Amino acid sequence: MQTEEIKSRKILIIKFIYILFIPILLSCSKDENLEVIGVVEEFSLQSNIIKDSYPIYVYLPENYSYDSSNQLIIGLDGDTRFNAIANLISDKTQNGSMPPSILISIGNNKNRNRDYTPTSYDYGTGGANNFYQFIKEELIPELESRYNLDPSNNKTLIGHSFGGLFTQYVMAQNRQDNPFNKFIASGTSYWYGSGVIFEYEQNYANENIDLDVTFYNGMGTLEGGVMLASFEEMNERIENRSYPNFKHKNELIEKSGHTGSANTIFKKGLDYVFNN
């Protein structure tokens, strides 16, 4: 357990990073207008849980299977990251390095500070649980009614920054009804809530002897000291749990910052989770 002095010092350091990096961490780069091979479509889904509407961006690969064998990949920040991730999946399904996979990107980025944060704190209002329930109880059943999906809990979640925070929040939820078994986190905002995501990780470890998932965790080397230190701490903690069925790779992207590292991490992450 940390002493109060260490905790106070940690909070001061994290408050410093707020001032220095918040303008970068809360921004989302404009989506790249990339050509993909396959079908792109969009629909809107009203959530009764959150009382809000979400644009849902859909990519179906050219070799989309009309039986129930398609992997489901859900990406966050759909308003800004859909095209880039769809392009990666398009390339990988074309060259056979990934199975037929449907990408679903959830939009409504303007409310990411509500939806992706696990607790109420500066810069977030703690709506992650509601957003997770929206994905499980409203979005996935809607997708199952529209598309041919692998019915197992064999789904991938991808997130960057606050999206990475939400991704690791979902990974720390119970496995019995968790629809995801593959996770890709990029530039995770570990600083949020004075490191509250570490408490979720600890709570999971206290109650479970295994974490049967595949997890790729990436960050740019130019992120800064606190970001990099917390990235290293999280990776060490989960590796030291020695979960028998846990597959994990962490990687630093050289000479890349918070925004610039994202697409490289998504590419490497897809390679890892679909080949391990």
- Of 110, 111, 93, the C-alpha closest to 102 is 93
Contact 174, 132 (CB under 8 A): no
Q: What is the pLDDT of residue 34?
A: 53
Torsion angle of C-alpha atoms 165, 105, 23, 18, degrees rounded to 10: -10
The letter for the amino acid at 105 is: S
d(CA 119, CA 94): 40
- Mean pLDDT (the chain) is 89
Q: CA dist 39 to 32, 58, 59, 192, 217, Å?
A: 17, 8, 6, 37, 29
CATH number where 164 lies = 3.40.50.1820
pLDDT-above-70 percentage for the chain: 87
From 98-102, 191-195, 239-243, the region with the lowest mean pLDDT: 98-102
Q: What confidence tens digit (pLDDT) does each residue in 3-34 have?
A: 444 444 444 444 434 434 443 344 344 444 45
Helix (H) or strand (E) holding 239, with range, is helix 225-240
Question: Of 149, 141, 154, whose CA–CA distance to 67 is shortest?
Answer: 149
For range 242-270, the mean pLDDT: 97
CB atoms within 10 A of CB 212: 14
Position 201 confidence tier, pLDDT thresholds 50, 70, 90: very high
The rounded radius of gyration (Å) of the Cα atoms in the chain is 18
- Work out the average pLDDT over 197-206: 98
Q: Distance between CA 222 and CA 260 in Å, rounded?
A: 10
Q: Which residues span the domain enclosing 123?
A: 4-273
- 125 secondary structure, DSSP code: E
DSSP string, 132-165: HHHIIIIIHHHHHHHS----SS-EEEEEETHHHH
Answer yes or no: are the C-beta atoms of 249 and 219 closer than 8 Å.
no
Average pLDDT over residues 172-188: 97
Q: Are 38 and 62 in contact (CB under 8 A)?
A: yes
Please give the average per-residue pLDDT across 232-255, as a whole number.
98
Predicted TM-score (pTM) above 0.85 = yes
Residue range 55-100, pLDDT digits in tens = 999 999 887 878 777 899 999 999 999 999 999 999 998 888 998 8
Residue 206 has pLDDT above 70, yes or no: yes
b/e string for 7-25 if b means 16 or more Cβ within 10 A? eeebeeebeebeeebeeeb
Q: What's the number of domains the chain is made of?
A: 1
List the structure tokens of 54: 């979400």
